[in-house]
Amino acid sequence: MLRASWIATAALGALLVAGQAWAAEKKVVAVSIPAADHGWTAGVVYHAQAAAKEINAAFADTVEVVVKTSPSASAQVSALEDLSAGRKLDALVILPHTSEELTMPVKAVKDAGTFITVVDRGLNDPTIQDLYVAGDNIAVGKNTAKYLVDKLGGKGNLVVLRGIPTVIDDERIKGFQEGIEGSDLKILDIQYANWNSDDAFKLMQDYLAKYPHIDAVWANDDDMLLGVLEAVKESGRSEIKYALGGNGMKEIVKKVIDGDPVTPVETPYPPSMIKTAVYMTVANLVGHAPVRGAVKLDAPLITQQNAEEFYFPDSPF
């Protein structure tokens, strides 16, 4: 597995080396991403805008990176139409709101001759994407599950919170289910909470009312974990041994650093992967550094022993 920082550095290096040889025609790279509606997407917006600023400043005569945020899947479809209207897009870097709704609109952009880089939430038809950059979502689920199997002695009652219907959510759930196979850990309930803290708070309240004994909770995203922790705190329930998330939110990593007994581990899924994707895409177009296929970032278990490496208090996430 490769670290996002290493890949981004290598891609930027390729751009710098090749800079003098680039053709005079300016390349247009559109970046279409969700609006900052929760912590992780706020990080995505931050890093996408940083990448655009850096590349546009360094290569003002050769590359134009345009970032467009969208608050919904339908708005993102409209944004793609606007971005491609009246200009040729040499490349599109997209983090889809949802896999299903964006697959065909992205295919339409692809059919116009645009290089397609998909980030995080894969399309339903992976043949559309020239490059795919994501974290290891199966490992996010599986590593968390294996930790719970070990710490709970292979038995107990679990409740799970899903995000939204996307490929990455499916992969995280698949990894988690594979991780508990062969144990006596039982998933009492599993429902969507939309990667939203308020929705997760309400869903966890429902779980607490419905199930008298819960040994552990897995919210497959840290924004949801914040809602879960608040609901558990308000309930006064003391039997819940672990409440775990995923994505590497700085507030959760700080809990790991501090030795929080309920949230003692975490898994990373850095929003900075969007910056890596932008660098690699530009390198593909004008840096004479062709890259195709999938780049998958590692998802090691963050523990108190290594948590400082994953803690960035000044970041938006």
pLDDT tens digits, one per residue of 7-21: 555 555 555 444 444
Residue 4 pLDDT class (50, 70, 90 cuts):
very low
Does residue 251 have a pLDDT over 90?
yes
What pLDDT, on the 0 to 100 scale, is given for residue 18? 46
Domain co-membership, 81 together with 157: no
If you search the block for the tokens 């966890």, which residue do you land on? Answer: 204
E strands in the chain: 27-34, 63-70, 91-94, 115-119, 131-135, 155-162, 184-192, 216-219, 242-244, 293-297
More confident residue, 184 or 3: 184
Give the tens place of pLDDT for each residue, 204-236: 999 999 999 999 999 999 999 999 999 999 999
- Overall number of domains in the chain: 2
Does residue 25 have a pLDDT over 80?
no
d(CA 230, CA 234): 6
Q: Does 202 map to a domain? A: yes
Does residue 5 have a pLDDT over 70?
no
Domain co-membership, 33 together with 83: yes
Domain co-membership, 109 together with 143: no
Domain co-membership, 185 together with 246: yes
Domain co-membership, 114 together with 150: no
More confident residue, 141 or 25: 141
Does residue 164 have a pLDDT over 50?
yes
The strand pair at 184-192 and 155-162 is best described as parallel
Q: Does 141 map to a domain? A: yes
Domain co-membership, 19 together with 125: yes
Domain co-membership, 250 together with 286: no
AA identity, residue 10: A
Residue 284 pLDDT class (50, 70, 90 cuts):
confident
Q: Provide mean pLDDT across the span 57-82.
A: 95
Name the DSSP letter for residue 187: E
* Of 19-23, 267-271, 280-284, 290-294, minimum mean pLDDT range: 19-23
Name the DSSP letter for residue 300: P
More confident residue, 271 or 25: 271
Does residue 23 have a pLDDT over 60?
no
Give the tens place of pLDDT for each residue, 38-49: 788 999 999 999
Domain co-membership, 209 together with 299: no
Domain co-membership, 152 together with 235: yes
The pLDDT mean for the chain works out to 91
What pLDDT, on the 0 to 100 scale, is given for residue 22? 42
Q: Does 101 map to a domain? A: yes
What pLDDT, on the 0 to 100 scale, is given for residue 293? 92
d(CA 211, CA 216): 12
Residue 121 pLDDT class (50, 70, 90 cuts):
confident
What pLDDT, on the 0 to 100 scale, is given for residue 6? 47
Q: Does 316 map to a domain? A: no
Residue 157: CB atoms within 10 Å: 18
Q: Provide mean pLDDT across the span 167-191.
A: 96
Q: Does 60 map to a domain? A: yes
Residue 250 pLDDT class (50, 70, 90 cuts):
very high
Domain CATH number, residue 204? 3.40.50.2300
Q: Does 242 map to a domain? A: yes
More confident residue, 106 or 8: 106
What pLDDT, on the 0 to 100 scale, is given for residue 15? 52
What pLDDT, on the 0 to 100 scale, is given for residue 12? 54
What pLDDT, on the 0 to 100 scale, is given for residue 1? 43
- Supply the range of the domain harboring residue 125: 4-136+270-310
Domain co-membership, 168 together with 131: no
